Amino acid sequence: MTHRKLLIGMLCVGLWSAPAIAEAQTLRFAHWLPEQHALPSTGFKEWTESITEASGGAIDFQMFPAQQLGSAEDHFDMVANGIADIAWVNPGYSAGRFPISDLLQLPFVVSDTLNGAAAATKWYQQHADQEMDGVVMCLIHGHYPGTLHAKEEIRHPDQISGMTIRPANSSIANFVSELGGASVQVAAPETREALSRGVADAITFPSGSTILFGIDEITTYHIEFPMYSSWQALLINQNAYQQMSAEQQDVIDDHCTGEWATRITRGWEEMEREGHEQFRDSPDHTMIELSDEEMTAWRDAAEPLREAWAERVRSAGHDPDSLRQDLEERLSEVDALAD
């Protein structure tokens, strides 16, 4: 029997099948930042181009920046429901919905977000499937620590009473409430308008983004003390991931690591750090250096938030002490745990 006849016979009886050729995937990637922001122009660009190259062109991306597919607050539901295949999500925009991840959003937890990105990613990858349905948690990273930017000088947490603050996330909103202030929750792109219309007196924000969004024209007082970082998750729709070939999934998995969390963050980190230094050097802005007593007052004022977080996590069926200890140990190993 010739090889040709043997091959035809095997195909007819189902003894052999040709290797499957992976169908090329174009993934819809949604985020809410302007395209000129350092993160999409550096971190997202490097990440997507590396995936396309590693997949031999079998995975490509269609980018939807600046809330084109929906508001910043809706990005988790967008990716979970398949409106987007990948989305950059701030879990802190959804109050109480992701209690485990809220630990990262609390004030005075992470001191070095660049070194802490890998540690946080490895920590949260263990827990995300307990509170994030419909998605694959790729990585999580935070911005250079943010602080309070205001229209007038603020040194002590007691001064927040009676003020209206635009908080960075739900944990900071709780902090404002704890201090007797009121919160107005608007997405980052709408923050300047809220301040200019007098809806808010101050914001918590990283410094470079304050400049990018034009907020520096309104807020000229900035506390030097790093208070918090908002942590953002890069999430993949579960169905979109499952429909990929094994080879495509391997490429995605290789790009959902702590190392990539650091690489994605680097350009954003530099932008925010430069903004902080620009405020320090500008004659039009005042950097407020807190005394040791004032810094202690801010830290003490945040303690009830930790207790409230522990209660929320406990109510959701998790062990807050174990979660906190694991994260703190990982952050300590890379000198990224706040003192």
pLDDT at 11: 38
Confirm if 140 and 175 have CB atoms less than 8 A apart: no
* Average pLDDT score over residue span 294-316: 97
pLDDT of residue 67: 95
Delimit the domains of the chain by residue range: 24-143+229-271, 147-228+275-333
Q: Residue 127: which of 95, 93, 91 has the closest Cα?
A: 91
CA-CA-CA-CA dihedral for 150, 156, 159, 164, to nearest 10: 40
Q: Give the relative orientation of helices 246-254 and 45-54 as an angle to the nearest 10 degrees.
A: 150
Question: Is 50 exceeded by the pLDDT of residue 154?
Answer: yes
Higher pLDDT, 12 or 44: 44
Q: What is the pLDDT of residues 185-224, one digit of tens each?
A: 888 888 999 999 999 999 999 999 999 999 999 999 999 9
Q: Tell me what pLDDT residue 310 has.
A: 98
268-303 pLDDT, tens per residue?
999 999 999 999 999 999 999 999 999 999 999 999
pLDDT in tens, 244-267: 999 999 999 999 999 999 999 999
pLDDT at 16: 35
pLDDT for 10: 36
Equal CATH topology for 24-143+229-271 and 147-228+275-333 = yes
Quote the tokens at residue 62: 């269609």
- Average pLDDT in the chain: 92
What is residue 22's predicted lDDT score, i.e. its pLDDT? 59
Strand partners for 237: 135
Query: pLDDT-derived band of residue 19, with 50, 70 and 90 as boundaries?
Result: very low
At residue 171's C-alpha, the angle toward residues 206 and 41, to 5°, is 35
Where do we find the tokens 């309070």? Answer: 148
State residue 38's pLDDT score: 94
Stretch (H or E) spanning 103:
helix 102-105
Instruction: Tell whether the model's pLDDT for residue 5 goes beyond 50.
Output: no
User: What is the structure's pLDDT at 190?
Assistant: 87
- Tell the CATH topology of 147-228+275-333: D-Maltodextrin-Binding Protein; domain 2 (3.40.190)
On the 0-12 / 13-18 / 19+ scale of CB atoms within 10 A, 159 is middle
Stretch 98-127: mean pLDDT, rounded? Answer: 97
Average pLDDT, integer, range 320-336:
98
Q: How far apart are CA 116 and CA 125, in angstroms?
A: 14
CATH superfamily for domain 24-143+229-271: Bacterial extracellular solute-binding protein, family 7 (3.40.190.170)
SS3 at position 33: coil
Which has more confidence, 168 or 64?
64
